[in-house]
Structure 1
Amino acid sequence: MAALFVLARSTEHLHPLIGFVRAFAEAAMVGGLADWFAVTALFRHPLGLSIPHTAIIPRNKDRIGDTLALFLRDNFLTPAVVARRMHKLDVASAAGRFLASPAIGDGRLRQGASRLVADILEALDQERLGGMVKAGLRQRIRALNIAPLLGQALEAAMKDGRHRPLIDGVVKWAAKTLDANEHLIRDMVHQRAGRIMRWTGLDENLANAIISGLDKLIGEMASDPAHPLRATAEEGLAKLAADLQSSRRMQDRVARVRDELLDNPAMQRWIDGLWEQARAGLLRAARDPDAAMAGRFGEALRQLGATLQGDARLRVMINRFARRTAVGTAASYGDGIVRLVSETVRGWDADTVTGRLENAVGRDLQYIRINGTLVGGLVGVILHAAAMFL
């Protein structure tokens, strides 16, 4: 515009219309310089001169950060706003569609999520993570009162008659044990018999009678489901089920057995192996999601997705849970997020803030300068025309 102004000013005498070009160039220079000054004053001192009300962003960096943080809190992180926005989202249906058809979008979402999960699992401190998982598992088991659960399971099994195979197994085990240990019974009777019984051979007869009687008793129990000893065993099981559910003393005994099992080194090794298997399985599934989705796990996920899409009550429940979780997160951590934004901006130096904002809107700033130049030139043409005709 300056070159055009010089050219038009030097040739203005050749034709009256060149006066309009001169007026356009003159006003365009003023408009361009004014917009250059205004835009530059946002980010720094024009020409390095400390003119009042320039370098606005560097001087007000902290206030901008606080204002941005308050804007986030008032418009995004209040429980009411989060609840209103979450009310419009159908999280359950979206999850159901993804699980039912995980290959949507060429599988890129699934692949990206899988890589992220695998990277997180491998990056975490496995000793610490494994210790936390195993400690949490043991803590949950210790806090579980398993005696009533065992009692309820035993009671339900007896109602359905599922305890009878157990008694049959005990009877068969007793028969095999008796056959394998006849010599022990004979030795016991022989050692405890008197000299007279040994001399007369009555100890052998007594041992045979004992073995025969036990064998007959076991055989009768095996063939007669209504045998009195079976009924006694069932009564004992029923009492055990009741005690497990109602007897504090029995529950304490079961708890002590539970704690002893958890403290046993063999149980510790089993829990360690369980964690390693679970971690290895997660890593395999994360590294190869297609293989994981092709197995039973994938079929279970697809069934879950179909259920989420077809069960309206389940969708309502899951969406309500997601909404409450988001609202609770906003209520609990909204102020913390606001402080994080404000403190982060305060921690930036002025040059960092200026550079980031200027890079973000740099192209629009150029158009502002160009538009100011053109608008100024048009105003100059109008003013020149008005001066000629007035």
Structure 2
Amino acid sequence: MPDAELNSASLKRSKRLASMALISVVLLWLLLMVSAKLWPDHAWWIQILMLSAEAGVVGGLADWYAITVLFRNPFGHLPIPAFLRDHTEIIPRNKARIAESMGRFVQENFLSPQVVEKSLAKTDLSLAVGQWLAHPQNNAQVVLIIQQTAPKVFDFVGQEQIAHFIQNNSVQWLRNTQMNHMASELLRAVIDNDFHQDVLQRGLDLVHEWMVQHPHETRELTRKLLKELGVWKLVKGASWIGIDLQQRSIDSLIAKIETMLADPEHPWRQQIEDQAHAWMLQLADPDSDVSMRLNAGKNALLDSPQMLNFISGAVVILCDAIKQDLLQQNSGIAANLQAAIQQLGENLIHNRDVRELLNQRFSGLAITFSGQYSDKIIRYISERIHEWDSREMIAKIENEVGGDLHMIRVNGVVVGAMIGLLLGVIRAALDALL
């Protein structure tokens, strides 16, 4: 059963119990008054009980009145003094003030930058995320959501009008974007972090390994290269006198690669870095020949219907392949994605430096967000409360807390009766002593 239905049922039970308690004590009070007339010889103890019942009636009615005026005017259209009328319907009359007060409370206690910073300082958010992602049940749930959502996204963007809209906007964005600046910044990042050296080292390793392990394919490749250069007949002629220029060329190239692998300061490496740095500087200048050629080549590709059709077709084929795989029960993409998410979680757990960096970034973003948007969030909450219909608001508040409020009426009857009984006993004792 939903929470709203449970609260509504609780409210009805509390109202019914409170009404029964008040009616019962009123009937008991009337019964005791009649009994005092019928049995005057026992009037002294009946008076004690009657005082208890009277106090119970007063307590029950007082609490009923106090709870009722919170939400509505119990007097209706009766002519009553202003000081009574002005203190009824307390919640509806003060809806605006309540909205502003709730907004300030949320802002001061939850969304202020100081509170956010203090709260995040006590929490290793990255560790919590890592632990959550590393749990198989959680990362499986994430992958399941992706499996259910991604095909729908592909279906949506695959519609002819949407696909055409995305393509046109993408082409327009690329046409208006000067690629030289992006390429220059990319080269700057590569050079500053020595990524090019890592790529070059790995590439040379692969070439060296392939040439050593595949001598026949290497000779065939060099043969074709020498033919293209027009020197194959010369090489073949030298072989007739016992000079294998082809193998010497291969051995020389392997030796050069090994030298470059062993020497990070090799002149060829330096030439590659110098050339990359020169390109970076030229690309930073939009009027340089390199920048103009890059942008012209980009525009030529965008002006080619064949190229655009090829790219669009490739994207459609790729998206369809991903969608079909995700729809399968034993999806390879989903399995790899789940393994990657779990690995990410485990890496976060064990890498403290990365966690600290992420926590700092998260904290900074959260503080910035709370400082910039907390006022807008609070204003939105206040406006929504202002827009609530008074009857709807009263019904919702009553549904949430009305059950406990009406139990106060029961407590008023019981506590009032007990106090009346105590006062009656005290009065009887004093009468007996005096």
- One-letter code aligned to 2:277: Q
- Tell me the alpha carbon deviations over residues 138-163 of structure 1, each in whole angstroms, 9 at most, x when there is no partner: 58993521684899859963894877
> Among residues 365, 370, 376, which one is paired with 2:416 in the alignment?
376
Q: Name the residue aligned to 1:157.
A: 200
Deviation at 1:267, TM superposition (A): 4.6
CA RMSD of aligned residues (A): 4.7
Is contact 1:293–1:299 with CA below 8 Å preserved after alignment? no
Maintained 8 Å contact 2:65/2:74? yes
Tell me the distance in 2 between the aligned counterparts of 1:38 and 1:213. 112
2:315 to 257, 268, 274: 274
Q: Partner of 1:192 in structure 2?
A: none
- Residue of structure 2 aligned with 1:71, choices 105, 109, 115: 105
Q: Does 1:246 align with 2:274?
A: no
Aligned position for 2:53: 25
Per the TM alignment, residue 371 of structure 1 is displaced from its structure 2 partner at its CA by 1.0
Give yes or no for the alignment of 1:39 onto 2:67: yes
The CA deviation at 1:316 is: 1.3
Correspondence for 1:84 among 118, 135, 150? 118
Which amino acid is the alignment partner of residue 69 of structure 1?
G
Structure 2 letter corresponding to 1:295: A
| Distance (Å, rounded) in 1 between the aligned partners of 2:358 and 2:198 | 34
Aligned residue among 242, 248, 270 for 1:224: 248
Give the Cα separation in 2 of the matches to 1:225 and 1:385: 121
Q: What is aligned with 2:34?
A: 10
The one-letter code sitting in structure 2 at the alignment partner of 1:144 is M
Question: For the residues of structure 1 that align with 2:366 and 2:74, how far apart are their CA atoms?
Answer: 46
Listed one character per residue, the Cα deviations across residues 3-27 of structure 1 (whole Å, up to 9, x for unaligned) are: 1111111112533332222112211
Q: Distance in 1 between matches of 2:411 and 2:383?
A: 37
User: Does residue 319 in structure 1 map to residue 354 in structure 2?
Assistant: no
Structure-1 residue corresponding to 2:338 = 298
**Which residue of structure 2 aligns with residue 386 of structure 1?**
426
Structure 2 distance, partners of 1:120, 1:61, is 43
For 2:332 and 2:253, locate their aligned partners in 1 and report how far apart those are by CA, in whole Å.
Answer: 52
The amino acid across from 1:274 in the alignment is V
One-letter amino acid matched to 1:87: A
SS, match of residue 60 in structure 2? helix
Give the one of 144, 149, 171 matched to 2:182: 144
* 2:89 is the alignment partner of 1:55: yes
- Could you tell me how far apart the structure 2 residues matched to 1:375 and 1:328 are? 53
Q: 1:154–1:119: structure 2 CA closer, same or farther, 3 Å change rule?
A: closer
The amino acid across from 1:23 in the alignment is: L
| TM-score of the superposed pair, with normalisation by structure 1 | 0.72
Q: Offset at 1:96?
A: 1.8
Query: Which residue identity does 1:79 align to in structure 2?
Result: P
Name the CA shift for 1:316/1:124 in 2 (closer, same or farther; >3 Å). farther
Aligned position for 1:338 = 378
Instruction: Tell me by how many angstroms 1:266 deviates.
Output: 4.8
The answer to whether the 8 A contact 2:51-2:420 is kept is: yes
Contact 2:147 2:334 in 1 (8 A): no
Counterpart residue identity of residue 251, structure 1: V
User: Which stretch has the larger CA shift, 376-385 or 348-357?
Assistant: 376-385
Report how many aligned residue pairs link the two structures: 355
The range that moved more, 343-352 or 148-157, is: 148-157
Amino acid in the other structure paired with 1:343: E
Could you tell me which runs of 5 or more consecutive residues in structure 2 were left unpaired when the two chains were aligned: 1-24, 79-84, 212-217, 255-259, 261-266, 283-287
Shift of the 115–335 alpha-carbon distance from structure 1 to 2, 3 Å rule, reads farther
Q: Which amino acid aligns with 2:416?
A: G
Residue aligning to 2:22: none
Matches within 5 A, 1:345-384: 345-384=385-424
- Residue 103 of structure 1, aligned match among 120, 137, 148: 137
Inter-CA distance 48–91: structure 2 relative to 1 (3 Å threshold): same
Larger displacement relative to structure 2 (308-317 or 61-70): 308-317
Contact 2:226 2:232 in 1 (8 A): no
The change in CA–CA distance for 1:353 and 1:155 in structure 2 (over 3 A counts) is closer
Contact 2:107/2:378, CA 8 A, preserved across alignment: yes
CA contact (8 A) 2:107 2:375 kept: yes
Local SS of the residue matching 1:76? helix
Deviation at 1:224, TM superposition (A): 3.4
Q: CA separation in 2, counterparts of 1:312 and 1:346?
A: 47
The one-letter code of the counterpart of 1:74 is E
The TM-score normalised by the length of structure 2 is 0.65
| 2:10 counterpart residue number | none
- Tell me the CA shift for residue 383 of structure 1: 2.5
Question: Aligned equivalents of 1:95 and 1:3: distance in 2?
Answer: 63
Q: Residues of 2 paired with 1:72 and 1:116: CA distance?
A: 36
8 Å CA contact 2:133, 2:345 repeated in 1: yes
Instruction: Note the C-alpha offset of 1:66.
Output: 0.9
Rounded to whole Å, the distance in 2 between the matches of 1:221 and 1:245 is: 36
